[in-house]
Amino acid sequence: MTVTPQTLPKRELIGLSAEVIQSTNRSLVGIKGIVTAETRGMLELGTKKVPKRGTRFMFTLPDGTRAAIDGENLIGRPESRFKAKRKKKW
């Protein structure tokens, strides 16, 4: 499955190019880099750690499409976002 702006919150972010376009901490605005690590509440852009809460990111997808995503939509353990909810079939 390809990465699209709609599926981005449920996909792997590591390796994507990102930029902070809005933040409650104004000193973070303008930070750019490749996502090198991700935790429940932080994204690491190069060597800078940026909190997801209160931040809006602009991601550049592999096909060149740009997508703005609120960090609030990315909060949570990365592996939890990837899991699909499945109904038990008895």
pLDDT at residue 2, as a whole number: 75
Dihedral in degrees, nearest 10, Cα atoms 16, 59, 41, 21: 140
pLDDT in tens, 19-50: 999 999 999 999 999 999 999 999 999 999 99
Domain presence at residue 16: yes
Q: What angle do CA 32, 7, 77 make, to 5 degrees?
A: 70
Single-letter amino acid code for the residue at 76: G
Interatomic CA distance for residues 34 and 32, integer angstroms: 7
Instruction: Name the residue with tokens 């303008």.
Output: 30
CATH of the domain at 68: 2.30.30.210
Let me know if residue 87 belongs to a domain: no
| Mean pLDDT computed over 2-8 | 83
User: Can you give the residue range of the structural domain that contains 54?
Assistant: 8-82
- Residue-wise pLDDT for 70-82, tens only, equals 999 999 887 777 6
Record the pTM. 0.85
Q: For the chain, what percent of residues have pLDDT higher than 90?
A: 66
In a domain, 56, yes or no: yes
The region, left, alpha or beta by phi > 0 then psi within -120 to 50, assigned to residue 82 is alpha
Sequence letter at residue 84: A
